[in-house]
Structure 1
Amino acid sequence: MHRVIDHARRADGRLALGSAVLPRTAADIGLKVLSTSANHSMLWLGVAALLGLRSGSTRRAAIRGIAAIAGASATTNLVGKPLLPRRRPPAGLVAPHRRLTAPPASSSFPSGHAASAAAFATAVALESPVAGALVAPVAVAVAYSRVHTGVHWPSDVAVGAAIGAGAAWATRLWWPVRPVAHAAEATLAQLPALRDGAGMAVLVNPEAGDGAVSPQEWIGRHWPAAQVCYPGSGRDLVAEVDRLARRESARVLGVAGGDGTVAAVAAVAARHGMPLAVLPTGTLNHFATDLGISGTDAVADAVRHGHGCTVDLGTVRIDGQRTRWFLNTASLGGYPDMVRFREKWQRRWGKWPATAAALVRVLHESTPLELELDGRRQRVWVLFVGNGAYAPRGFAPTWRPNLDNGLLDVRYVRADARFSRLRFVAAAMLGSLKRSRIYVERACPALDVAVLGGPIALASDGEVGPRGSRFRFAAREAALRVYRPTP
């Protein structure tokens, strides 16, 4: 072991000296500025802010990158440096014009700059290979700049980069990456082929999304003959859609909006037996993503050729009242409260900061639910019900492999054990929920839930619904025909 360490030190010294004797070039100033700009990960936070301007994979890449930096920084600064202290290279190793104005005084091993750079670049690449390819050269330059400016040995950088890449890959344990794949499996169906939208009634939610797509302009260009409805503020959305569906000229319903709007229109389409065309103009568009709709042009092509499929819908009856439909998920417990706080704060703070603040508030104030699940008494923190089986397993349901299996995906976190929340969080972070007794998953065609206490609110497809004490969930097979590109 001593011989191995001695050989490694000698190689380290030769590499550092090889860098130190490089001739003076214009790159010296650039590397010095780049190294300084990465202090406290400010460079990566700025890049993350730019990536977050656009929804979708780049925004997910930014969030995953920040999370990876947090893990890498904690590992290097709280574990690596205190346990394995090392002197930095001598000040005279590199020429004065390459030295940093304020060189660090902490342990040299491992390099925190290299760890953060590798963590961010790897995390971005996991979500968006294109963005990752653009970020990677900058990350490599930041890592090398630490050797070039004489504040780290090459081995410090190599180990720091390995820690950063490992921290990025570790985020997959609690936030799995959705694979780049075709649309979810579903039974194909031939639907009415509409050339210019004649026979279609479209409801547009003008407040949905970030304004990247103008539904009004798009519909006017692709479906000029369609009947278009813009519901006013405070109007009953379901009543508006139902009125559209009853028109004699309407053979197909269309909707432009997010999952909440799409769910309302899908319920009417299912009741009237009408096909549905979905324009993904919301913020997240989970249902459209599972259909394989990558953009609005794909919808136009599917409607023009009549390509579609049949999918299941989830239903829930609250206290025996009228059946409500949901496309993606429904839940009881902390999530409805989180949605309520987010809607209260997002106009003032923005959606993502409001969501984070709402999550912290709910985790701090949440209380267990006393429920009966199919007649069996259970104490839970949150109950999740998905329309169809979600993947991956574990408490991070993200996508659906198929849309017509006739089953509900039921998941909940038990609250009848000591330190259940702490144990759940630990298992989620370590990717061991499958072996945890705190977390339960099962698939079933229907589920009866009785609340042992006061009424609680239901959240479905990102919207908070009515309160109730008895909930009957069920999967409705082949309930909806919907346009989608041919897989």
Structure 2
Amino acid sequence: MAVGTAGRTRPGPGRRLAAAGALLAALAAIALVVVALVQDPLRLAAAPLLVGIAVAAGWTALVRRGAWRVAACTVALLALVGVVLLVVTASVLRTVGVVVLVLVAAGLARVALGRDLVPEPSGLRPVPAAGHGVLLMNPRSGGGKVARFGLEDEALRRGVTPVVLEPGDDLRALAEAAVAQGADVLGMAGGDGSQALVADVARRHDLPLVVVPAGTRNHFALDLGLDRDDVVAALDAFGPALERRIDLAVLGDRVFVNNASLGVYAGVVQSEGYRDAKLATTARMAPDLLGPGAEGSHLRFRGPDGEVGGPVAMVLVSNGDYRLDRLDGFGTRARLDGGVLGLVTVRVERGRDVTEMLAAQATGRLRSFHGYRQWNAPEFEVDSDKPLVEVGVDGEALRLPPPLRFRVLPGALRVRVPVASPGAAPAAVAPAGPAEAIVGLVRVLRGRPAQRLPVRPAPTGA
């Protein structure tokens, strides 16, 4: 197989055939929709109208209480029933055909694009096995994944010293003690908050970190390209592995590996009972946070053009740029070595804005919402009139005095990953949108790599 530009291999016949199939399936799906629009325009116009009514009524139910909530729930339910009836009474074969064609197009596109869109990791190099590896473990993280996957025994089997946290233990002190006793590789099995703390210790001593996804969501592990379902496999990074440098973000003097959120989301996370009943807590607090009598935003910051930002419902500061399609889960990052903070604000000024935002969120197009802004910068500051600002940092609820100062530490952390790890986050593998997907498929069909990405030089340590 011939080698393309930027060291990427030219697609073979199988990928080119998949690209052709994906484009044809997408065109066929569009054709079926156009035919339906011509034959029954009133039905197709009624469906989005009912969906809009359902979204608006659902929002009213979320931010109101009492009779308003009951009435809005009733309207939303009736609108959804209407949508279902429209679909059922329409051409079932045509509807199924569109769904099947879209799924076929998506599957073939994934095969055709392969890993062409994945940025080349900067400074990736093979390293020998750890001489004295230490794995710190939080047995309460992820509902008890440490015990469920037998990580203590698995670590011993690999010649790695396990350290299990007991109630009342100071994780930072344990990590520092491991370094003092000669550890040359530190590992952490736990949630992202624990990963950040151990990452800070590893950074200060210029030691590599092994990330073991034993938390709940494990966003950091996902963006490192690790398989979050194969927890034990992450321990292979203590053996012969691959190492590179990535960025860390800092709020004040506190390191975080994922994101810090302020505004509505942070307020909900701060509330009592959120971890045990997320949906119920959100519904209970929504009227106070977003309803007609809600307090206006107290956050002040400067946007990408230097102007003072207006009232926003949410501010998200991340260690690198997130690709956000929805507000829940906060998406993934294509790379962790860009040397910037990712910044997102969501402004909601009117009830109609909320309807549009929820519709964009429901269809995975959050970035198309007019109140959504995203940019990046090496530093960012948020001020407030309040004495303490609620902020969620890597999932941990905090109250900190303003101003809140964020900055990025480029290339600050050495990380090790197993040689056999997937090596790329979902945001790196998937196209950013339909336009990028179509361009990539056309390039593959013509026998060229889907995208040519320059290799960025490895950042220096911080």
- Among candidates 232, 236, 240, match of residue 305 of structure 1: 240
Alignment partner, residue 358 of structure 1: 281
- Check conservation: 1:215, 1:281, Cα contact below 8 A: no
Task: Say yes or no: does 1:447 pair with 2:359.
Answer: no
Task: Say yes or no: does 1:329 pair with 2:259.
Answer: yes
Alignment partner, residue 368 of structure 1: 296
Q: State the shift of 1:219 in Å.
A: 3.9
How much is the aligned-residue C-alpha RMSD, in angstroms?
3.6
- Among candidates 163, 166, 174, match of residue 229 of structure 1: 163
- Check conservation: 2:188, 2:198, Cα contact below 8 A: yes
Alignment partner, residue 255 of structure 1: 188
- Check conservation: 2:156, 2:162, Cα contact below 8 A: no
Distance 1:241 1:434, change over 3 A: same
Alignment partner, residue 386 of structure 1: 318
5+ unaligned residues in a row in structure 1: which ranges? 9-72, 85-108, 112-154, 173-178, 318-322
The structure, 1 or 2, with the larger RCO (C-alpha pairs under 8 Å, 6+ apart) is 2
Mark the structure with the bigger radius of gyration. Answer: 1
Task: Say yes or no: does 1:314 pair with 2:249.
Answer: yes
- Check conservation: 2:324, 2:366, Cα contact below 8 A: no
CA distance in 2, matches of 1:235, 1:460: 21
Task: Say yes or no: does 1:338 pair with 2:268.
Answer: yes
Among all aligned residue pairs of Structure 1 and Structure 2, give the percentage whose two residues are the same amino acid.
29
Distance 1:183 1:298, change over 3 A: farther
CA distance in 1, matches of 2:344, 2:317: 7
Q: State the shift of 1:300 in Å.
A: 3.4
Distance 1:470 1:185, change over 3 A: farther
CA distance in 1, matches of 2:333, 2:401: 28
CA distance in 2, matches of 1:242, 1:337: 33
- Among candidates 36, 57, 78, match of residue 82 of structure 2: 78
Q: State the shift of 1:456 in Å.
A: 1.1
Q: State the shift of 1:433 in Å.
A: 4.4
CA distance in 2, matches of 1:261, 1:392: 24
Q: Which amino acid in structure 2 is aligned with residue 278 of structure 1?
A: V
Distance 1:222 1:237, change over 3 A: closer
Q: State the shift of 1:360 in Å.
A: 2.0
Q: Which SS does the other structure have where 1:449 is aligned?
A: strand
CA distance in 1, matches of 2:215, 2:237: 19
- Check conservation: 1:183, 1:290, Cα contact below 8 A: no
CA distance in 2, matches of 1:266, 1:189: 18
Alignment partner, residue 334 of structure 2: 401
Alignment partner, residue 214 of structure 1: 147
Alignment partner, residue 288 of structure 1: 221
What TM-score comes out, normalization by structure 2 length? 0.61
- Among candidates 385, 395, 403, match of residue 462 of structure 1: 395
Task: Say yes or no: does 1:202 pair with 2:135.
Answer: yes
Distance 1:434 1:238, change over 3 A: same
5+ unaligned residues in a row in structure 2: which ranges? 1-34, 40-76, 107-112, 290-294, 424-462
Q: State the shift of 1:420 in Å.
A: 3.9
CA distance in 2, matches of 1:483, 1:433: 33
- Among candidates 183, 187, 192, match of residue 122 of structure 2: 187
CA distance in 1, matches of 2:388, 2:381: 15
User: How many correspondences in the alignment?
Assistant: 325
* C-alpha distance after superposition, 1:147-176 (max 9, x if no partner): xxxxxxxx764356469x49x98xx9xxxx
Q: Which amino acid in structure 1 is aligned with residue 315 of structure 2?
A: L
Q: Which amino acid in structure 1 is aligned with residue 150 of structure 2?
A: E
Q: Which SS does the other structure have where 2:210 is aligned?
A: strand
Any residues of structure 2 matched to 1:100-249 within 5 Å, and which?
110=88, 157-158=92-93, 161=96, 165=99, 186-190=121-125, 193-194=128-129, 198-211=131-144, 214=147, 217-224=150-157, 225-247=159-181, 249=182
Q: Which amino acid in structure 2 is aligned with residue 410 of structure 1?
A: L
Distance 1:244 1:215, change over 3 A: farther
Q: Which amino acid in structure 1 is aligned with residue 199 of structure 2?
A: A
Alignment partner, residue 415 of structure 2: 482
Which segment drifts farther, 360-369 or 456-465? 360-369
Which segment drifts farther, 213-222 or 371-380? 213-222
CA distance in 2, matches of 1:198, 1:471: 40
CA distance in 1, matches of 2:119, 2:416: 13
Q: State the shift of 1:395 in Å.
A: 4.8
* C-alpha distance after superposition, 1:11-34 (max 9, x if no partner): xxxxxxxxxxxxxxxxxxxxxxxx
Q: State the shift of 1:75 in Å.
A: 7.4
